[in-house]
């Protein structure tokens, strides 16, 4: 696979995620948008004209173009698996939004195919690329807080997603908390041995779907480390994304950010502006960084920072978290079928 | 019980807790230290001279003095119960550090006797009187955050207590987490229906005692509210005491405080001074306030803010939290013997 | 002047300022870089190739291209005036870094020509477009702090500019403090009646140039409002840019920002990361916004937010500030020759 | 002068300042209030009863009591000088609120008499004892910010003092800014060589008195250091007391404090409680510390941290600041009559 100096990208899906990938592509020298694909032809045509690139309604069209160097999958969730497999089959590197598929088998298939075809496959665990979270993880690795004892990940969405979105989201564990499991793996380099979840629902429509919108997960690790994840589908005050890491020598916290840094002092107190409203602004830099990393991999062969094992483990923990809530009891992580019956060599458990 | 304009106090115990009670007494007009009691006679004599009051090595001596209006119990934990009962028997109002005793029965005995003798009995759940925590609780009651969904209490001690102290502390649940349970009751006015604990130990000597120094508790309430408590016996960076309350309309947080409000900007970043080192300074104002409330009760009959039920419930939850960790499973709160067999009218469960 | 949907831009100058204009252009839909110009041909050629546009070493070349819709002047300071005049003469709208020229007459010439030719001329007072400063100015206009009484602008550069740069910078008043004068005008909508400056020099080379690196300016306004500006050529801890506005009803402050929002708690205290290191990152959003405003003006005729009078007054105050320091006495603003002999109708003084 | 283990204090004046001195005395072991004096006999009698001490309406009564070890002067401003002289004459150490008198001569008389009689005389420049300001000064001395270049002191009062108070306050320079001059001396250990003031008045009654309520002072030091002081008689949002010190290696700031450390996140932003409302709470710890220092001096002969020269210089700068405003021009500090004609050996100018 000879990669030219300038990378030509095909973008599948022009929805929410597609939009900020366009923004990222434009801001990175050496990457060009060569083609946009969406089932909505008028949308695809309009954007293609604005961005001076080709368009198609057929996700397979770009795969036949020799000058297209890689594919970004930002289509609706249920399309991911098929598009990833087809693109890898056609010899195109893939950068995809999570999830890869709806089962562990599909995940394994994607990575297996990428491995066989020697093609990069990057999953968009965007938070790993956030400057504050990656700085925190680096600090932990450098020993700034000593031996880890207690971690906390807080993720509260804003605004409340549409019910259409939530209906096809695979539930709060696979849609949201999977990111938090990945953050813990990213920061600690370890997997928990026990998981316990308790959840509830304050939004009637979410409750009607049998889904949760308010969840606490407790995780126990070998060696005594403990972690908690608390997640909510909606924070009125903005997109609340924080991590706290407590260790023998100190504590590292990654705090929320506001787009504006003013303070108003008055008889009412000291008022600062609201934090970032939602993920496109909160993670703008993270989205850009993950694309930089992907293009560095294509051009220079640098290794990708999200491994098959990373994606498997966050999926497994999402399944276990869901099950723990359903059965109202803690579960041993090694009791998960994928870990019980076929011990993997590269697994840390 | 006729209470004169100036209250004369007998203080039992001149250790750590006794010391800051002396400080509080001195700073409140209308309360005088009439007598100090400690088994260490030279200590008692020295302080009495300095403070210009009487002293004794006998905790019963003050009970015979007609001009002593109330007793403060700040002696070692194992003395509490006997001293409280004897003081109440002698007709003296009591303000005591927790715990009242080592069993629920002893707690019930103390409050029962106080009720029969129509004497005020105040338990030092000092955090209820902390300006930040009480402001947070008030904000919740005023509806500032709407419907409560997720709460978090963080309590990390500093410095590490001595092993002598920990050995007689009744364990981390009864010694530390009992305060956090009480905070949740204070803020929410509710009791949980389910409790799950996971704990570990990083300090070898604590582990050797079979005690824990690192604990996460997850609590589920009727209506979907969830709470977590995370506690550690030692934070290297100071006495870390925070509460976070998340609701449908917003979030309220009570943050740590530093005694000094400087910021140093340099090539290394922005450095602020460490937070309060330990409880005597962190809760100085709280200790003062609880004594003000006690004296107001004595003089004007204002009701005491810590009820028999409050003390029972935090004790019951401490027992359940301990048991949940031991049995590695969530427990229903109503399965506790004290709640199962004798439903109390005033209980909220 | 018919402006097509997509704007084609010629960029004069590929130095520091040119670089972040390229970044801005790439991030704004509907604006394209059509041509880059620099005396360094190999630099121009290299960037043109990377950016897929034309290049030239001749600043007049783009003026003959019919499909070039506007010119951005980011060349060295001494080139500005000639390039602006030539571009306006050729009928091209101009967006220029300050200064327009080295005298008030040159400033007047530029705006006079732009007016005669009915062409937009925007001067890059970038701070007006900074989200925090513009939010602060909006708050003042909405009356959030009531009647203004005391203002403070702090500007400290980072890193220390090269002596080559400082040598041709026209001095700290015209190079730096001009921005602060403009900020005060932007926020208050008023001009001072009296100005006093005191300055010094801690960097030997700057002192040798007869320039200052440490300056305090005091400004008095009709009605009692007072303002101070404090400026330094070098802050070791980063690019320090703050504004504080005190009024009868409150205070508004715009604080510095850090690229990373972590906090490390340790025995040394609470450490946050350094603030933005320099202007390209600190004002990234401001640079983008001023270009958006320029393109909106070109396409939709929206008025430009920096007027001829704005540019004149900041220039006049820079001259007076310099003179006040030289003569070590306060000066009446209306004693400036440009204001004394030819009172302008649109002036507020 | 033999000082017993316990110090007996006579307090002259039971107004605002007297009240918090009582509070301080009560909180310090080894100091007792022996006698309170006020022209308002019923007030004195009532407080004496409450505090279990003597009272008098005659400021000279305590001077005849052999067991009174020191006198605190907290009476109305115009009484200070006479009471200090009389007390020192009677051999009693004095701790006095500023000012000592209304002229430099009176200041010199007080310190001269104290020196002759070998009696401690401490002037209540309370801010020197504030934990944050003294920590900042210590940091400067330790070289945390390198060579000092620009300082800023901000002092805004709250609430607006009564006109009765302001009428007898000797003007904003002698009543307020004198503290800021002293802070600069305390932090830098230097005296300015030039001073320029600009002031105005937004409160009609203050304007009618010919006094100012909004003042900016610019100070130039040998070596290039510059300082500004900005003062206002009333900040609506609370008692605003900040210091910022900028140097070659960094910046130190002392920020305001709030009594409560909560944050409310909502759609309106992040709201923290108002800062301390006024000086009794803001400087509570400072008032306590200055009394501790005074008693340490009495008992152990430790030197007092506020020197005759300190008090002279802040008085001289107050006079010069006032004059600079009146004459609308900068003044050389050495042109002050007290410095011009009689150069003092211990002066740093």
Residue-wise pLDDT for C283-303, tens only, equals: 999 999 999 999 999 999 999
Q: Which residue has the higher pLDDT, D186 or D23?
A: D186
Spatial separation of the C-alpha atoms in residues D137 and A145, rounded to whole Å: 30
- In the numeric block, the tokens 């040998």 are attached to D222
pLDDT digits (tens, 9 = 90+) for C169-186: 899 999 999 999 999 999
The chains found to touch A (3+ Cβ pairs under 8 angstroms) are B, C, D
Q: Are A24 and A49 in contact (CB under 8 A)?
A: no
Select from D312, D333, D348 the least CA-distant residue to D220. Answer: D333
Q: How many helices (H) and strands (E) does chain D have?
A: 13, 15
Spatial separation of the C-alpha atoms in residues D324 and D64, rounded to whole Å: 45
Which among B27, B50, B144 has CB closest to D264? B144
Q: Are C311 and C273 in contact (CB under 8 A)?
A: no
Mean pLDDT within C307-329? 98
Q: Are C264 and A139 within 8 A, CB to CB?
A: yes
Q: Which one is the CATH code of B7-123: 3.40.50.720, 3.40.50.2000, 3.40.190.10, 3.40.30.10? A: 3.40.50.720
Q: Which residue has the higher pLDDT, C46 or C51?
A: C46
Residue D19 half-sphere exposure, CB side, CA atoms within 13 Å? 6
| Residue B312, both tokens | 């029972």
Identify the DSSP state of B230.
Answer: E
| Helix segments in C189-302, DSSP class H | 204-208, 279-282, 284-300
Best probe of the B interface among A145, A197, A198, A332, by most B CBs < 10 A, is A198
Of all residues in chain A, the one with the smallest CA distance to B239 is A250
Identify the DSSP state of A20.
Answer: H
Give the per-residue pLDDT at D79: 95
Secondary element (H or E) of residue C89:
helix C80-89
What CATH architecture is B128-284+310-340? Answer: 2-Layer Sandwich (3.30)
Best probe of the A interface among B143, B221, B230, by most A CBs < 10 A, is B230
- Checking if the pLDDT of A129 tops 90, the result is yes
Mean pLDDT within D76-94? 96
Give the per-residue pLDDT at D322: 98
Kindly state the percentage of chain D with pLDDT values over 70: 96
Tell me which chain B residues have a C-beta less than 8 angstroms from the C-beta of A215.
226
- In the numeric block, the tokens 């010391």 are attached to B19
DSSP string, B280-349: HHHTHHHHHHHHHHHHHHHHH-PPPSS-HHHHHHHHHHHHHHHHHHHHTS-EEGGGSHHHHTS--TT---
pLDDT digits (tens, 9 = 90+) for A37-57: 999 999 999 999 888 899 999
Spatial separation of the C-alpha atoms in residues A43 and D19, rounded to whole Å: 74
Question: What number is the ipTM of this complex?
Answer: 0.94
Identify the DSSP state of B128.
Answer: G
* CB environment C224-253: b (16+ within 10 A), e (fewer): bbbbbbbbbbbbbbbbbbbbbbbbbbbbbb
Q: Are B220 and A198 within 8 A, CB to CB?
A: yes
On average, the pLDDT of chain A sits at 94
Tell me which chain B residues have a C-beta less than 8 angstroms from the C-beta of C258.
269-270
- From B46's Cα to the closest Cα of chain D, the distance in A is 13
Give the per-residue pLDDT at C3: 52
| Residue D118, both tokens | 């070998």
Residues of chain B with pLDDT below 70 are 1-4, 341-349
Q: Which residue has the higher pLDDT, A52 or C325?
A: C325
Q: Are A187 and A140 in contact (CB under 8 A)?
A: yes
Identify the DSSP state of A323.
Answer: H
| Residue C282, both tokens | 């600190």
**How distant, in Å, are the alpha carbons of B195, B341, C212, D135 from that of B335?**
11, 9, 77, 54
Give the per-residue pLDDT at C4: 58
Secondary element (H or E) of residue B175:
none
Q: Are B324 and A328 in contact (CB under 8 A)?
A: no
Of all residues in chain A, the one with the smallest CA distance to D240 is A265
Which among D238, D258, D268 has CB closest to A271? D268
Q: Are C246 and D236 within 8 A, CB to CB?
A: no
- Checking if the pLDDT of D343 tops 50, the result is no
pLDDT digits (tens, 9 = 90+) for B245-254: 999 999 999 9
Select from B269, A190, B153, A228 the least CA-distant residue to C264. Answer: B269
Identify the DSSP state of C147.
Answer: S
Secondary element (H or E) of residue B138:
helix B131-141
Give the per-residue pLDDT at A345: 47
The chains found to touch B (3+ Cβ pairs under 8 angstroms) are A, C, D
Pinpoint the residues of chain A covered by CATH 3.40.50.720: 7-123
> How many interchain CB pairs under 8 A, B with C?
56
* CB environment B113-128: b (16+ within 10 A), e (fewer): bbeeeebbbbbbbbbb
pLDDT digits (tens, 9 = 90+) for A306-346: 999 999 999 999 999 999 999 999 999 999 999 976 545 44
Tell me which chain C residues have a C-beta less than 8 angstroms from the C-beta of B272.
269-272
Confidence band for A200, pLDDT divided at 50, 70 and 90: very high
Q: Of how many residues is chain B composed?
A: 349
Of all residues in chain A, the one with the smallest CA distance to B156 is A246
Give the per-residue pLDDT at A348: 43
Kindly state the percentage of chain C with pLDDT values over 90: 90
Confidence band for A16, pLDDT divided at 50, 70 and 90: confident
Best probe of the A interface among C47, C127, C264, by most A CBs < 10 A, is C264
- Checking if the pLDDT of C124 tops 60, the result is yes
Kindly state the percentage of chain A with pLDDT values over 70: 96
pTM above 0.90, yes or no: yes
Residues facing D228 on adjacent strands: D152, D218
Confidence band for A1, pLDDT divided at 50, 70 and 90: very low
**How distant, in Å, are the alpha carbons of B98, C192, C221, C342 from that of C345?**
78, 17, 19, 9
Q: Are D36 and D48 in contact (CB under 8 A)?
A: yes
What phi, psi does D113 have (nearest 5°)?
A: -65, -45
CA angle C289, C40, C239 (to 5 degrees): 40
- Checking if the pLDDT of C214 tops 60, the result is yes
Spatial separation of the C-alpha atoms in residues C48 and A296, rounded to whole Å: 22
- Checking if the pLDDT of C50 tops 90, the result is no
pLDDT digits (tens, 9 = 90+) for B104-149: 999 999 999 999 999 999 999 999 999 999 999 999 999 999 999 9
Confidence band for D1, pLDDT divided at 50, 70 and 90: very low
Best probe of the B interface among D127, D260, D276, D277, by most B CBs < 10 A, is D260
Give the per-residue pLDDT at C16: 84
Binding-site residues on chain A for chain C (CB distance < 8 A): 23, 26-27, 29-30, 50-51, 131-132, 135-136, 139, 144-145, 249-257, 259-267, 273
For chain D, list the strands marked E by DSSP.
Answer: 7-12, 31-37, 54-56, 70-73, 94-96, 121-123, 148-156, 194-200, 214-220, 226-232, 240-247, 250-254, 262-266, 269-272, 331-332
Pinpoint the residues of chain C covered by CATH 3.30.360.10: 128-284+310-340
- Measured from the Cβ of residue B8, the count of other Cβ atoms closer than 10 Å reads 18
């Amino acid at each position: 696979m000879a990669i030219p100096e300038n990378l030509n990208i095909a973008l599948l899906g022009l929805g929410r995620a597609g939009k900020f990938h366009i923004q990222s592509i434009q801001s990175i020298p050496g990457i060009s948008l060569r083609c946009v694909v969406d089932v909505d032809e008028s949308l695809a045509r309009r954007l293609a004209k604005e961005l001076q690139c080709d368009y198609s309604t057929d996700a397979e069209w770009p795969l036949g173009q020799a000058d297209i160097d890689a594919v970004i999958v930002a289509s609706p969730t249920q399309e991911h698996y098929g598009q990833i497999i087809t693109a890898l089959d056609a010899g195109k590197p893939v950068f995809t939004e999570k999830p890869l598929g709806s089962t562990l088998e599909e995940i394994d298939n994607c990575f297996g195919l990428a491995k066989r075809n020697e093609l990069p496959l990057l999953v968009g665990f965007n938070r790993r690329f956030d400057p504050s979270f990656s700085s925190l993880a680096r600090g932990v690795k450098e020993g700034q807080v000593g031996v880890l004892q207690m971690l906390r990940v807080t993720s509260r969405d804003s605004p409340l997603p549409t019910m259409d979105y939530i209906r096809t989201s695979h539930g709060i564990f696979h849609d949201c908390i999977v990111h938090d499991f990945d953050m813990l793996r990213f920061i600690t380099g370890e997997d928990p041995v026990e998981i316990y979840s308790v959840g509830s629902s304050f939004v009637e429509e979410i409750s009607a779907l049998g889904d949760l919108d308010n969840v606490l997960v407790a995780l126990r690790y070998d060696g005594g480390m403990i972690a908690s994840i608390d997640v909510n589908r909606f924070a009125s005050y903005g997109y609340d994304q924080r991590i706290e890491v407590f260790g023998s020598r100190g504590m590292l916290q990654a705090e929320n950010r506001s787009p504006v840094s003013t303070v108003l002092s008055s008889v009412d107190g000291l008022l600062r502006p609201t934090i970032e409203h939602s993920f496109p602004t909160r993670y703008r830099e993270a989205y850009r960084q993950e694309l930089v990393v992907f293009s560095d991999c294509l051009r220079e062969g640098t290794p990708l920072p999200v491994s098959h094992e990373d994606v498997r483990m966050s999926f497994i923990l999402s399944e276990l978290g869901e099950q723990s809530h359903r059965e109202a009891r803690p579960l041993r992580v090694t009791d998960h079928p994928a870990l019980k019956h076929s011990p993997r060599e590269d697994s840390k458990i």
